[in-house]
Amino acid sequence: MPAVCFYFQVHQPYRLRQITPFEVGTHPDYFDSLNEEVCRKVAEKCYLPTNAIFLEHLKKYPDFRISYSISGITLEQFERWTPEVLKSFQDLAATGRVEFLGETYYHSLASLFDGREFRQQVAAHTAVIQKYFGQTPTTFRNTELIYSDGIADMVSEMGFKAMLSEGVDRVLGWRSPNVVYETATTKPMALLLKNYRLSDDIAFRFSARDWSAWPLGADTFAHWLHSLDGSAETINLFMDYETFGEHQWAETGIFEFLKALPEAVYRNPQFSFQTPSVLASDFPRHGSLSIPQAISWADSERDLSAWLGNAMQDDAITKLYSLHDLVMSKNNTALLHEWRLLQTSDHFYYLCTKYWSDGDVHKYFSSFESPHHAYMAFTNVLTDFIMKLEGTSQAAAAPTKPHRGIPAGRVHRKV
């Protein structure tokens, strides 16, 4: 009986404002005042209508299940600016058939640079999921599905039972992403891999008029799923939640597609919808899968090059993580929070200098004119922050509560 596993990433970074060199050492507010407006806009376009649709599905279909990973900084923004969105996610949680996954609180790259920091951010995220949804996550989704054997070792040591990642062709070879694997760790976990072709049909190609399957209807997509009966045990559809209404506007018919999809899938009685924890506990594992080099779901390479690799990215992130001991020595929660906000992966995503389609996507997300402008903004903020740590900034004594940021996703329009 094939199971469809819907997993959605819900994330909004705190977008940096572009402070000038003349402000360095004098201005404590690093975050753009536009962020509240963007948070409210995406709430209206995506979160509220999509949550309403899924709540109806959960009421109508007794075995319908979905899963979410919501970054801690996104939950902060919901609580502050759109409490109705937080309430709508709590209504979903109250059905008992929605799983909330673990991740880093700050949607950071800490798993690649600082194991101590990584574990602390994961613990902070677990605490906030317990606070808002009454769940203790047992499945882990690392930032942007970044995965390696080494990261999985840390995750399994923290007690998680399953982990998500990307079904990368060069890793899988002849193997299928449509079964459950086991991590190559001392304490093995279930490893669930994204079926990127079917996921991207919804997330990327849905509104592409030059696509041979346009316009994509629920019946057609369900037929594609049904065609895997006999060869697939689980079909993992992983994507940004902002796909619905924000990346794919309401005018594309995405909400009508989403409303009709469960009924279309259920026309084959062999199919069900499950959460990652159910797949981890109830489905057989098809051998161990070793992934020594880190992979992700970003860009055509599906590696770390979306955030690391050029001189600007490497310089920015090396300087940032080198501050760990100094930040900790200050025992200042406001400074610690600011430093961790600067770790959010989006800041380094904006520094990417790729060309062609991947480069276009990076530009789509960024509010900066170019990766160079983004680098200068980050460098100025980081310089100011270091001055705060050293006590040489005029603003050092009173760091302000930051403004919030824009949603992350793969096809985001500039504001």
* Catalytic residue ranges: 144
User: pLDDT tens digits for 200-245?
Assistant: 999 999 999 999 999 999 999 999 999 999 999 999 999 999 999 9
For position 255, what pLDDT does the model report?
98
CATH 2.60.40.10, domain 3-289, yes or no: no
User: pLDDT tens digits for 301-321?
Assistant: 999 999 998 999 999 999 999
pLDDT confidence tier of residue 392, bands split at 50, 70 and 90: low
| Cβ neighbours for 363, distance < 8 A, ≥ 6 positions apart | none
Residue 386 in tokens:
């270091």
Residue 382 in tokens:
């980081």
Cβ–Cβ < 8 Å for 158, 127: no
| Cβ neighbours for 285, distance < 8 A, ≥ 6 positions apart | 180, 181, 182, 190
Cβ–Cβ < 8 Å for 10, 68: yes
Cβ–Cβ < 8 Å for 347, 13: yes
The bridge status of strand 190-194 relative to strand 180-183 is: antiparallel
Residue 145 zone, left/alpha/beta (φ > 0; ψ -120 to 50; rest)? left
In the numeric block, the tokens 């376009």 are attached to 45
Q: What number is the average pLDDT over the span 347-351?
A: 95
3-state secondary structure of 20: coil
364 has pLDDT over 50: no
Annotated domain spans of the chain? 3-289, 311-390
Residue 23 in tokens:
């402000």
pLDDT confidence tier of residue 404, bands split at 50, 70 and 90: very low
CA distance 299 to 306: 7
CA distance 375 to 314: 11
User: pLDDT tens digits for 80-137?
Assistant: 999 999 999 999 999 999 999 999 999 999 999 999 999 999 999 999 999 999 999 9
Q: Which amino acid is at 99?
A: E
Q: Which of 342, 344, 245 is nearest to 8 (CA)?
A: 245
The bridge status of strand 162-166 relative to strand 190-194 is: parallel
CA distance 69 to 91: 16
User: pLDDT tens digits for 39-75?
Assistant: 999 999 999 999 999 999 999 999 999 999 999 999 9
- Average pLDDT of the chain is 91
For position 326, what pLDDT does the model report?
96
User: pLDDT tens digits for 136-176?
Assistant: 999 999 999 999 999 999 999 999 999 999 999 999 999 99
